[in-house]
Structure 1
């Protein structure tokens, strides 16, 4: 009997930890470093996932939007999706804000870290913060959609695809039918390619995790331990308390645990890759074939969510900024913390779905409140593992949104039983 995909991935994760710890960075086999082998396997898998992301996202959104628009449901489904994303991201940031103020991981009797540009840093770069935040929205409309595709600027691609799919419904006759058939064909092919790549997911996950363990080991977090605990606790509250409550009381799902089971392959892939964009094919597959959500909903909600719905990222940005302020002894009044919440929400929208991309957004927040941007270097000690965790929360929130919206659209087969 063949093991289910999520069990294969879980075994690969455990084996990766063992092998990475055993081999370290210096271990060799036949004169070749084990680390090079792990890196090769992991990179090959990531490249395969990234290869299909752009055509999959574009075709999924265009076919999804055109199908919804032709039935008059675009406005309704779009409003539900955006409302859900704003709601859950705001809750995530508030959870992070509450936890970091209660635990206060940066408060210490020790002197603050010494940085080269610590003095007068806010005077030098204060004017950049507004422009950097506005740039998030400027990227939404690409000047060259082909260049945006080549550079992986997903926000611009999604905006273009939304417009293209919507206006496909405004033309009539053979032209519309030809376009609809073309994009549906592209989407069907991409899903078949996704299925092939996912057969090798356990091997790819092994390479990614083994490489990380071999290079970083299990170094102590020193003074960042409490920060680590704060972020993990906040993410866990959002993941294990808020999300099932949304499924139960808003989505009407009688047993939210079924959704955790259905999404296990996607969650493990998100944890190992730290990339919501790379995990998107797995998320779509899990929702459609394991949770019973229709392609009509997943093809609209998930690609959009993979770029603009970053609950874990927004939470982390907020906690990180306030932690650094505490570390440097900078008092933050209510208005400043509200500013941090707002910037965390807006910058999380434009954060690329790739590992550690949120560090760029954190720099915007630090600059906005007059803190040294170089302090980001302090976070790198623990960022990798936290990145894996917040990406998992991002992906799970997207999937919960799809399930809740599908239920609100009257779909009867969503999480009604263990169908996988």
Structure 2
């Protein structure tokens, strides 16, 4: 049984147990919650403990690797420029579409209120500072203090500056720093694997508390969350068709047929890497030379996740709406920037790990609480299918586009 399946089952079992406890033994709800809530909170704290070192090490190694890849040749450089632009557009789409979807299909009020009261580890959110104060504060005077306070925007800026500075030093020093932060990243991933291994205990404890306090409304709220976030992912995924048609100059029917095998693999495996052979065949069917697809497709699989910024920001916006956090255009713009940057570091991680490491900084940046992510990660299995499906579609569409920009395809038509 996969890790994601175990976590999802633990969520369902915990919710069902909490609902049954409240219905058939209401007198025991208090004592059971007294035991379950600290267990869930401890697991959630353990998960949050890893975020700062993981995000910093991922950003430094990810940006350094991207900068190095961009120097590999003109085609690689153009590919990375296109990928970064599309990642920014992906996040921007979420900033525009998610509030609209939540306005058209609002979160069920009763369920939202019950869940707010049920989730442990929440803290009152401070009001957003004035714009001038915010801009002055994003440059940290003390990076250690910024890390201690989970000031993710400051940490991201520092990590970006540091990563680009690494590209300017001698090769020996750059290799030493890259090896150090790669080791930090790998060690933190092992720690997270341990934490996720015991996730069924923590998630079931959290879910039991939520089920006992929120009742059956918890299921409805989680289904609503899945539909909204998946809907944003579908919208971004569908953008692959006009990119292929207008950027790659292929017929929409030809692109759809070429993408179908890789889409099938993506749905069944939830892995872009597993879909790579099918994407190479699809690119060849569209007339893309192997010399082009052999560079752009592996590069896309390694550093480009088109749906990541959109769906990650959608989660953070959903949590903000859920907990009544006001989101001004300026705050959403900050979310777009953070979502774009964090996607560069988390692209090669499994879904449950990248979920936390990528979304927690975005949520913190827009003022949304991080604690609900410990519950929402349990239902990531379903949106993750949309993530992978959209990613392989965009990988193929951008490859066709880059092929045309690089001198055309093997055959036109």
- How far does the alpha carbon of each residue in 1:157-181 deviate from its partner, in whole angstroms, 9 at most, with x for none? xxxxxxxxxxxxxxxxxxxxxxxxx
Alpha-carbon offset, residue 324 of structure 1: 0.1
Deviates more, 1:309-318 or 1:348-357: 348-357
Aligned positions of 1:189-338 closer than 5 A? 221-240=219-238, 242-253=239-250, 255-288=251-284, 290-338=285-333
Aligned positions of 1:32-43 closer than 5 A? none
Alpha-carbon offset, residue 131 of structure 1: 2.2
State the number of aligned residues.
Answer: 279
Cα distance in 1 for partners of 2:316, 2:412 equals 38
**Aligned partners of 1:99 and 1:230 also within 8 Å:** no
**Aligned partners of 1:106 and 1:227 also within 8 Å:** no
Cα distance in 1 for partners of 2:393, 2:185 equals 22
Partner of 1:115: 119
Unaligned runs of 5+ in 2: 1-12, 14-64, 127-145, 168-173, 187-217
**Aligned partners of 2:266 and 2:388 also within 8 Å:** yes
Alpha-carbon offset, residue 149 of structure 1: 8.9
TM-score by length of structure 1 reads: 0.58
Aligned positions of 1:178-189 closer than 5 A? none
| CA distance 1:369–1:341, shift in 2 (3 Å) | same
Cα distance in 1 for partners of 2:272, 2:341 equals 18
Give the SS at the match of 1:247.
helix
Give the SS at the match of 1:293.
coil
1:395 aligns with 2:408: no
Alpha-carbon offset, residue 145 of structure 1: 7.1
Deviates more, 1:115-124 or 1:96-105: 115-124
**Aligned partners of 2:266 and 2:275 also within 8 Å:** yes
C-alpha RMSD of the superposition: 3.5
TM-score by length of structure 2 reads: 0.58
Partner of 1:85: 83
Alpha-carbon offset, residue 415 of structure 1: 7.0
Instruction: Choose from 339, 343, 348 the match for 2:343.
Output: 348
- How far does the alpha carbon of each residue in 1:362-411 deviate from its partner, in whole angstroms, 9 at most, with x for none? 01111223332221123234311111111111121111111111122233
Instruction: Choose from 71, 94, 97 the match for 2:95.
Output: 97
**Aligned partners of 1:273 and 1:355 also within 8 Å:** no
**Aligned partners of 1:262 and 1:286 also within 8 Å:** yes
Give the SS at the match of 2:327.
coil
Partner of 2:202: none
Deviates more, 1:266-275 or 1:320-329: 266-275
- How far does the alpha carbon of each residue in 1:195-219 deviate from its partner, in whole angstroms, 9 at most, with x for none? xxxxxxxxxxxxxxxxxxxxxxxxx
Cα distance in 2 for partners of 1:151, 1:413 equals 44
Alpha-carbon offset, residue 283 of structure 1: 2.5
Cα distance in 1 for partners of 2:412, 2:271 equals 25
Partner of 1:367: 364
- Higher helix proportion, which one? 2
Alpha-carbon offset, residue 249 of structure 1: 1.9
Cα distance in 1 for partners of 2:219, 2:118 equals 19
- How far does the alpha carbon of each residue in 1:62-100 deviate from its partner, in whole angstroms, 9 at most, with x for none? xxx89x97xxxx33x234312321332233222222221
**Aligned partners of 1:293 and 1:413 also within 8 Å:** yes
Partner of 2:154: 130
